[in-house]
Amino acid sequence: MAGTNDALFSLRGKRLILIAEDEEINRALLENILEPEYETIAAENGQQAMEKLIANPGLVSLVLLDLNMPGMGGLEVLRRMREDPDLSQVPVIVLTAESDSEVQSLNLGAVDFIPKPYPQPDVILARVRRTIELSESRKIISFTERDPLTGLLNPDYFYRYAERYDQLHPDEEMDAIVLDIYHFHLLNERFGRARGDEILQRTADSILSAVRPLGGFAARRGGDTFLIYCPGGTDYGKLLQSICRHSEQDAGERLRMRMGVFQRADKSVEMAHRFDRAKMAADTVRGQVTNNIAMYDDRMRERELYAERLIDDFPRAIAENQFRVFYQPKYDIRPDQPKLSSAEALVRWNHPELGMVRPDQFIPLFEENGLVEELDRYVWRTAARQIRSWREKFGRTLPVSVNVSRIDLYDPKLTDRLNALREENGLGPDDLLLEITESAYTGDSDHALAVIHELREMGFRIEVDDFGSGYSSLNMISTLPIDVLKLDMAFIRSAFREGGDTRMLEIMIDIARALNVPVIAEGVETEEQMKALRAIGCDIVQGYYFSRPVPPEEFEAFIVQGERGDESEC
Ligand code: C2E
Ligand code: MG
Ligand code: MG
């Protein structure tokens, strides 16, 4: 495992020392001794020393302070530093010819002194080194800056450290790099947590040994995400390869990693955000086998700006009812004449400047920052009222399913809210249905499963959305609390494309049979598809063949019609 101080001292930047001394010759002497190892700045009196300290916040590793200077003297500087919370941690070595001032300056917080005339250079260097080391180790302890599992820096400390590095090297181009392990959660599930931890430790070690010679340093953020701050000009392919090779050898199994780089990071961008950008790039690698390195680029920048805009516009959109709920019919295809069985509520954003924005552009975004909860509450409320209003108008209840995001499952009031909606609108268990995507069952599955069980106990029917796209094992499926399986559209796509075959679809339908639940196919666009699905035992169909999602006024025609012939007008 990485040693405690490795990353800290792998920082290529030199530490900065302030020399406050009025005699020019003495300053030059000290600079000469220190300069190969440290950077120095100089002050000729106490006033200047204070100004320079304040102008370099958090950057000065040590002050060498002459006590006798014209104007403000060293003792006064010590006094002022002690009173300033930002400066009181900066170690001070006092330079003095008078031995009686030593005690006084030690009492005022100086950590050591160097007598005048100056001793041998190596004595001075030894004192300087020791003082800086002691002070940094004290800081290390007080900031708990290490990730206990891997020994790498933790992100907060890493960001501060990187900022400091930038201040010391304003002209150096730096890359923000994010690295993560493909499907780490699967490795964890397959080999167990302890083995997963070991893989993370080995990866951390291999990252350190790869970036240290480049003058970079590293941190771990969250489960399997690693951050690297590194001088520009690195050969990323080689870096990734050497990390992978090293980790694999040790881990004993094949690891796939991907890397995102914010190259020559724009230093006006906040440090943490530079790594968000690198992560954004890394996320675009998803699924690609050959090229697993991606650079942050202008396209991503545009997407990022678009996303920021959508987030900024959200409160106004809610307040001004810009969100609209559309409905897409689901038809029972078992009878010869398909019969309208229910509808799915799908949100649309009628943005005043951007036009109709589709949910796949904002739902994932709002899932990331939690806004989806507020949006979904609005959609559920609208859908529940719609069910009631159609019942009043047409004398029959058309069940409507709403999408419940995995984020909603963390709302402690979820069950109360849904119950209240049912009560307010006089709805029964078969009227308001819940679609929960399969991937919600996989992440932190214990929690999700508990909430879903609770919802079912309260009488809600659960439709597993996008089934087959997640990673639930067959073993897990048999114990899932579900009422309906909605097949992921990808199965329909691959079954019906040229040369495709329906075997996978048949297997999925067999699974539904074994679980004794009806199966819905979505994304059905043609009559041929509908008939083929009917022939292999699919119960319900949703898709453009019957209708796109439409506004409620338009949807009413389907309720009036109730039943539709195969020769649909789509
Ligand atoms: P989903 O829940 O799986 O919804 C089905 C998506 O497939 C809808 O996309 C629908 O318009 C589209 N679709 C239906 N039939 C066809 C077809 O024949 N061909 C094709 N190509 N597409 C078809 P939409 O409305 O863009 O929604 C995308 C996803 O956004 C939804 O996938 C759902 O995960 C999410 N979403 C939509 N509305 C909400 C909402 O109110 N709350 C939450 N949490 N998520 C929502
Ligand atoms: Mg859905
Ligand atoms: Mg779906």
DSSP output for 209-267? HHHGGGT-EEEEETTTEEEEEEES---HHHHHHHHHHHHHHHHSS---EEEEEETT--T
- Distance, in Å, from the CA atom of 174 to the CA atom of 264, rounded to the nearest integer, reads 5
Under a CB-based contact definition with an 8 Å cutoff, are residues 496 and 468 in contact? no
DSSP output for 336-380 = SS-EEEEEEEEEEEEETTTEEE-HHHHHHHHHHHSHHHHHHHHHH
CATH (one of 3.40.50.10320, 3.20.20.450, 3.90.550.10, 3.10.150.10) for 306-561: 3.20.20.450
Cis before 481 (ω within 30): no
Atom of ligand 1 nearest to the CA of 486: 3
> Which band of pLDDT confidence, cut at 50, 70 and 90, is reported for residue 13?
low
Task: Specify the DSSP class assigned to residue 470.
Answer: S
The two three-digit tokens of residue 132, written as one number: 């800086």
The two three-digit tokens of residue 514, written as one number: 């074994």
The SS3 assignment for 326 reads strand
> Please, which residues have CB less than 5 A from ligand 3, an ion?
465-466
The domain limits of the chain are: 4-144, 155-296, 306-561
The Å distance, Cα 292 to ligand 3 centre, comes to 28
| Helix pair angle (100-107, 74-83), 10° resolution | 10
- Distance, in Å, from the CA atom of 350 to the CA atom of 27, rounded to the nearest integer, reads 68
Atom of ligand 1 nearest to the CA of 465: 3
- Distance, in Å, from the CA atom of 337 to the CA atom of 567, rounded to the nearest integer, reads 10
- Does 466 sit in the ligand 1 pocket, CB within 6 Å? yes
- Does 263 sit in the ligand 1 pocket, CB within 6 Å? no
Q: Is the pLDDT of residue 332 over 60?
A: yes
Of 275, 277, 274, 187, the residue nearest 223 (C-alpha): 187
- Distance, in Å, from the CA atom of 251 to the CA atom of 230, rounded to the nearest integer, reads 25
The Å distance, Cα 414 to ligand 1 centre, comes to 22
The Å distance, Cα 552 to ligand 3 centre, comes to 20
- Does 145 sit in the ligand 1 pocket, CB within 6 Å? no
- Distance, in Å, from the CA atom of 174 to the CA atom of 162, rounded to the nearest integer, reads 10
For residues 44 and 147, the model is more confident at: 44
- Does 371 sit in the ligand 1 pocket, CB within 6 Å? no
Ligand 1, residues 347, 402, 403: which to mutate, most atoms within 8 A of Cβ? 403
Q: Report which residue type is found at 512.
A: A
The Å distance, Cα 452 to ligand 2 centre, comes to 16
> Which band of pLDDT confidence, cut at 50, 70 and 90, is reported for residue 222?
confident
Ligand 1, residues 314, 344, 346: which to mutate, most atoms within 8 A of Cβ? 346
Task: Render the burial of 360-392: b for 16+ CB within 10 Å, e for the rest.
Answer: eebbebbbeeebbbebbbbbbbbbbebbbebbe
Of 338, 295, 259, 321, the residue nearest 565 (C-alpha): 338
Q: Where are the alpha helices (DSSP H) in 35-73?
A: 46-55
Overall fold of domain 4-144: Rossmann fold (3.40.50)
- Does 240 sit in the ligand 1 pocket, CB within 6 Å? no
The order of strands in the sheet holding 174-181 is 217-221, 225-231, 174-181, 257-262, 293-295
Q: Is the pLDDT of residue 471 over 50?
A: yes
Q: What is the pLDDT of residue 542?
A: 97
Which residues make beta-bridge pairs with 43? Answer: 20
Atom of ligand 1 nearest to the CA of 379: 41
Q: Is the pLDDT of residue 11 over 50?
A: no
For residues 60 and 443, the model is more confident at: 60
The Å distance, Cα 360 to ligand 1 centre, comes to 8
The Å distance, Cα 120 to ligand 3 centre, comes to 76
- Does 264 sit in the ligand 1 pocket, CB within 6 Å? no
Q: Is the pLDDT of residue 326 over 60?
A: yes
Range of weakest confidence among 75-89, 182-196, 246-260, 374-388: 246-260
The SS3 assignment for 115 reads strand
Backbone φ and ψ for 262, nearest 5 degrees, come out as -100, 100
Range of weakest confidence among 6-20, 32-46, 163-177, 332-346: 6-20
Ligand 1, residues 369, 492, 497, 522: which to mutate, most atoms within 8 A of Cβ? 522
The Å distance, Cα 384 to ligand 3 centre, comes to 20
- Does 379 sit in the ligand 1 pocket, CB within 6 Å? yes
pLDDT digits (tens, 9 = 90+) for 392-424: 999 999 999 999 999 999 999 999 999 999 999
- Distance, in Å, from the CA atom of 412 to the CA atom of 415, rounded to the nearest integer, reads 8
pLDDT digits (tens, 9 = 90+) for 292-306: 999 999 899 998 899
Burial group, residue 148, by CB count within 10 angstroms (0-12, 13-18, 19+): exposed
Please report, for residues 11, 151, 253, 541, the alpha-carbon distance to residue 434 in angstroms, rounded to integers and kept in the order given. Answer: 53, 44, 40, 17
Task: Specify the DSSP class assigned to residue 158.
Answer: H
CA 139, 140, 145, 148 torsion: positive or negative? negative
Under a CB-based contact definition with an 8 Å cutoff, are residues 457 and 483 in contact? no
> Which band of pLDDT confidence, cut at 50, 70 and 90, is reported for residue 138?
low
The average pLDDT across 107-114 equals: 86
- Distance, in Å, from the CA atom of 213 to the CA atom of 279, rounded to the nearest integer, reads 23
Q: Is the pLDDT of residue 499 over 50?
A: yes
Residue whose Cα lies nearest atom 37 of ligand 1: it is 346
Degrees, nearest 5: CA angle 277-281-285: 160
Out of 13-22, 109-118, 289-298, 349-358, the most confident range is 349-358
- Does 383 sit in the ligand 1 pocket, CB within 6 Å? no
Count Cβ atoms below 10 Å from residue 7 Cβ, excluding itself.
26
Q: For all residues of the chain together, what is the average pLDDT?
A: 88
Q: Report which residue type is found at 195.
A: R
Q: What is the pLDDT of residue 443?
A: 63
Q: How many CA atoms lie within 13 A of 123 on its CB side?
A: 9
- Does 353 sit in the ligand 1 pocket, CB within 6 Å? no
Count Cβ atoms below 10 Å from residue 287 Cβ, excluding itself.
7
Residue whose Cα lies nearest atom 46 of ligand 1: it is 403
Ligand in closest contact with the CA of 496? 1
Q: What is the pLDDT of residue 541?
A: 97
What is the distance of C-alpha 139 from the center of its chain? 28
- Does 347 sit in the ligand 1 pocket, CB within 6 Å? yes
Backbone φ and ψ for 326, nearest 5 degrees, come out as -100, 165
Out of 147-161, 283-297, 311-325, the most confident range is 311-325
The Å distance, Cα 344 to ligand 2 centre, comes to 7
Q: What is the pLDDT of residue 66?
A: 94
Q: What is the pLDDT of residue 568?
A: 44
- Does 530 sit in the ligand 1 pocket, CB within 6 Å? no
- Does 543 sit in the ligand 1 pocket, CB within 6 Å? yes
Q: What is the pLDDT of residue 534?
A: 96
- Does 521 sit in the ligand 1 pocket, CB within 6 Å? no
Residue whose Cα lies nearest atom 25 of ligand 1: it is 346
The two three-digit tokens of residue 289, written as one number: 């086998």
Q: What is the pLDDT of residue 81?
A: 92
CA 492, 496, 500, 504 torsion: positive or negative? positive
Domain 155-296: which CATH class? alpha beta
The average pLDDT across 513-519 equals: 91
CA 352, 353, 356, 360 torsion: positive or negative? negative
The two three-digit tokens of residue 414, written as one number: 């979820």
- Does 408 sit in the ligand 1 pocket, CB within 6 Å? no
The SS3 assignment for 40 reads strand
Task: Specify the DSSP class assigned to residue 149.
Answer: T
Q: Is the pLDDT of residue 461 over 80?
A: yes
- Does 372 sit in the ligand 1 pocket, CB within 6 Å? yes
Residue whose Cα lies nearest atom 41 of ligand 1: it is 347
Residue whose Cα lies nearest atom 11 of ligand 1: it is 549
Residue whose Cα lies nearest atom 10 of ligand 1: it is 549
- Does 492 sit in the ligand 1 pocket, CB within 6 Å? no
Q: 98-106: long-range contacts at Cβ-Cβ below 8 A with a sequence spacing of 24 or more?
A: 98/67, 101/67, 101/75, 104/75, 105/67, 105/74, 105/75, 105/78
